[in-house]
A and B are shown apart, each in its own frame.
Chain A
């Protein structure tokens, strides 16, 4: 391993600008003559707009333009789209309601976009919004997920009967029913996966800029995937042809999925920039972010697991209702279907699985992918079932899991996935040792002496990353391929620019990708720059989400580097007057085998550009290669997280006393960065389990719409984290990377709840397990404690 190559904890190249205040986030960018947009939003969850009068507001100081849904319709601006077609059980397509960027006659959630006011300053735009007159005919709201498809509920979209987007299923119903028929024991659970708000620290923002001389637009935006945004804004919403729309996603302050999607605000900013003839900037305040960013999770599930008399799992049956909110966000339909049901086998060898998912509209913010996206929901179902089953059977939860783990690879699950590599039992053994599991009983007794309840909980998660083989996702309804692109540009002086379709918004690509390139080419890491986030620079890319940037994005770079090396060998052969077959490349030098003749990488780069040693007929000058990489399989990161909690019996406060994680991410490029990803994921998972909850009241008002009301984890809510790794390389990509970005958020919630229920002695607690909820649950345990 070189000092800066694969496997080294290289300090991040991007950090200098962030720690000195020189980052360039969207709101840090100011365009000459820019105006400021404020969106007038619906205060009602469900209402008809009877009258919308902007005349008075138009006269307000500083107002440059006011636009409504009628103006967008007049310009034939298309609605926002959902890019993944899901089919019902009967094969018919899902029912997607129209999703205009500005409301057309009806609003469907609090925060829905009614009008945009554009003014010289943000304050003037906001002041003018007060003068817009809107008469609403308020309709009853449908907010409760569990009953959203019941007869008599308010109808949110005319074309989605019973507020149902689709009734999806996956797996073999008959085989699963047969497994349950012969089961010796069945464990049943009703589970709620609570709704979360992603809350990247940088609120969403956009600047639309129109150049009338070129008839071309530029959009600066907080995006995880600028090319996908451009494609959607061009091909579906119809704002401009792709070659006349540049999308720049500069420094982006966190995403966690929420910045994958194309929202109303950036759509309107681009369109309005031409209408007003000046750049239009919009920056969400935190309340708008709470109201209008795509939320995550929000499932209610009934799940059953069948076992034989020895505790071998025979089958799994799951029925989930998934809340998709008031409109279908960009990839929302895929999350509770193909990112969820295929993960229901967990790490286990389960012969039969059948899952049904009803996706429903409600009068709430759209719901889409949030860190883990479907996989945390699946893991919560599987790992709660497994834990409870082991308790009901009186078996040790770790041993119960190990007995049922997949033990050989490749392993075909009954729900699409082909697990290709892993060592689940080895990971569990390592986790048990790191967690000092054998002495848990002693620690529990010590806690009891202090009057505290102690519990331990496991989570043996699996996820499908490396998203994704394009043909496979195409057959499942995806509207795009999910490959990645890379271009390696070697300059005449030997330094290198790598253009990637991945996008970094905290993941450290500028460092890890540079490690790969520097190690491969044998050049100092300082001579490598990673370029991303600009559609005018990078030809195309699918962006960063689903823990895909290492497995897919870096694999594309490997392919491009292969071509660079091949071309450079040809150049070196001419320069060294040798046969190409005799050229060897090692440690940054091209040498002629069996001689002392050699050239450094930089010298060969110069030869490629000056082209003095070969003719145009023999070889093209230059040294620049591109590649597209389409994965051949998903990757399957997996691991075991063990949580130990201590509960204060007087207050119900849960402290996480000990956290142990052993993960298998395949090859690790930069351990420091990977550990950071795990820390952040666990924090979000613990947040979901203990604190976070997006709550709408019966009228559809979001009552947790600020950091004062929504439980954002603070430093004192989180524990010290003990991490370990057990690596089996992914066989499906050249680097063996599986991905690490989402693991913690997937693993953590069931680990926490399993620990709390272990401490309580019963299963009746839902997320988030706030002190109040735990205290109430403890009252059920009181008899048991007294008896002890």
Chain B
């Protein structure tokens, strides 16, 4: 079984896992970072989105071994020093979550969206960019609002951007 090492939420970790182990299994089962969820088995729902080397990745579709040496950020690593990331804050402020199951993936995807598209996001762009994240509770209405607001707040808080 291969031994792999990577940085997860700024901590150096290593583990010996089966070759078929997925990144999400390493995070959840080995490292007990259970904030990253699994909602499907076809890479559709996005509940498992984390950042690998600064980009959003569906951790259910990625072998842990392929992340050797990578920098991984999960939902648990997004808040810095007890201060919520502006996107986390925006989801709470705008009621962008109900059951909370899709939320970690949504927030990680939303931060990535801002990183890619900037701070000024219109509704149509957010809706089309959320193609890879499914929510069954909210009808997306408040998620769209939260992401637009979170994006604007990220521009005002460069520290939060640097955390990525």
Give A residues with C-beta under 8 Å from B. 11-12, 14-25, 27-28, 30, 123, 199-203, 251-254, 256, 285-287, 505-508, 672-673, 675-676, 679-684, 706-708, 712-716, 718, 720-721, 744
Contacts and interface: CB of A to CB of B under 8 A. Distances in A.
B41 A285 contact: yes
Interface of B: 18, 20, 28, 32-42, 44-45, 47, 74-76, 78-79, 84, 88, 91-93, 95, 97-104, 107, 123, 126-128, 130-131, 133-144
A684 B139 CA distance: 8
30 contacts: A18-B97, A19-B84, A20-B75, A21-B33, A21-B75, A23-B35, A25-B34, A27-B38, A28-B34, A199-B136, A200-B136, A201-B135, A202-B99, A253-B99, A253-B101, A286-B45, A287-B41, A506-B98, A676-B95, A676-B138, A676-B141, A707-B42, A707-B44, A707-B45, A714-B131, A714-B134, A715-B126, A715-B128, A715-B130, A716-B128
Contact of B39 (A15, A286, A683): A286
Given A201-B45, A683-B140, A715-B140, A19 B97 contact: yes
Nearest to B90: A19
Contacts of A12: 92, 95
A11 B35 contact: no
A239 B42 CA distance: 36
A30 B32 CA distance: 9
A129 B139 CA distance: 38
A508 B137 CA distance: 12
B33 to A, nearest CB: 7
B137 A506 contact: yes
B34 A21 contact: yes
Given A23-B100, A123-B20, A15 B76 contact: no
B92 A680 contact: no
Contact of A716 (B36, B39, B103, B131): B131
A18 B106 CA distance: 11
A706 B41 CA distance: 8
A543 to B, nearest CB: 15
Contact of B95 (A123, A253, A673): A673
B102 A201 contact: yes
In the A-B complex, list the 8 residue pairs whose CB atoms are closest, starting with the nearest: A21-B35, A253-B101, A18-B100, A683-B139, A506-B99, A21-B75, A506-B98, A707-B44
B101 A202 contact: yes
Nearest to A200: B136
A505 B101 CA distance: 10
A256 B99 CA distance: 11
A680 B138 contact: yes
A154 B93 CA distance: 55
A708 B20 CA distance: 23
Nearest to B100: A18
A205 to B, nearest CB: 10
A279 to B, nearest CB: 15
B144 to A, nearest CB: 7
A674 to B, nearest CB: 10
Given A679-B139, A680-B98, A716-B128, 19 more contacts: A11-B93, A11-B95, A19-B107, A20-B35, A20-B79, A23-B101, A200-B99, A201-B45, A253-B37, A286-B45, A676-B141, A679-B138, A679-B140, A680-B137, A683-B140, A708-B44, A715-B126, A715-B135, A720-B123
A30 B101 CA distance: 18
Contacts of A19: 75, 84, 88, 91-92, 97, 100, 103-104, 107
A20 B84 contact: yes
A15 B137 CA distance: 14
- A interface SS class: loop
A94 B124 CA distance: 51
Given A18-B100, A19-B107, A680 B136 contact: yes
Nearest to A20: B79
A252 B41 contact: no
Contact of A679 (B34, B38, B134, B141): B141
Given A20-B76, A254-B137, A202 B35 contact: no
A596 to B, nearest CB: 41
Q: Most chain-B CB neighbours within 10 Å: which of A14, A25, A27, A714?
A: A714
Contacts of A200: 99, 101, 136
Contacts, number: 177
A715 B113 CA distance: 14
Given A202-B37, A253-B100, A706-B41, A715 B84 contact: no
A715 B98 contact: no
Nearest to B107: A19
Given A20-B79, A25-B101, A718 B39 contact: no
Contacts of B28: 27-28
Nearest to A283: B38
A743 to B, nearest CB: 12
Contacts of B123: 720
Q: Most chain-A CB neighbours within 10 Å: which of B47, B76, B137?
A: B137
A708 B42 contact: yes
A82 to B, nearest CB: 26
A21 B76 contact: yes
A28 B131 CA distance: 26
Given A201-B99, A507-B98, A286 B41 contact: yes
A199 to B, nearest CB: 6
A135 to B, nearest CB: 28
Contact of A721 (B45, B107, B137, B141): B141
Given A506-B100, A715-B127, A716-B130, A201 B136 contact: yes
Given A19-B107, A199-B136, A254 B95 contact: no
A287 B42 CA distance: 9
A404 B127 CA distance: 40
A683 B130 CA distance: 15
A200 B99 CA distance: 9
Contact of A21 (B104, B127, B131, B135): B104
B92 to A, nearest CB: 4
Contacts of A18: 97, 100, 103-104
A678 to B, nearest CB: 8
A682 B135 contact: no
A514 to B, nearest CB: 16
B136 A254 contact: yes
Contact of A676 (B38, B74, B98, B107): B98
Contacts of B126: 715
Contacts of B84: 19-20
A121 B56 CA distance: 29
Contacts of A14: 100
A3 to B, nearest CB: 16
Nearest to B129: A715
Contacts of A682: 139
B10 to A, nearest CB: 15
Nearest to A23: B100
A14 B95 CA distance: 11
A715 B39 contact: no
B47 to A, nearest CB: 6
Given A718-B140, A718-B141, A201 B101 contact: yes
A15 B97 contact: yes
Contacts of A253: 37, 99-102
Contacts of A718: 127, 139-141
A508 B98 contact: yes
A663 to B, nearest CB: 14
Contacts of B18: 123
A715 B144 contact: yes
Contacts of A672: 95
B33 A720 contact: no
A285 B38 CA distance: 9
A691 to B, nearest CB: 12
A25 B143 contact: no
Contacts of B34: 21, 24-25, 27-28
Contacts of A251: 99-100
Contacts of B35: 20-23
A15 B134 contact: no
Contacts of B33: 21
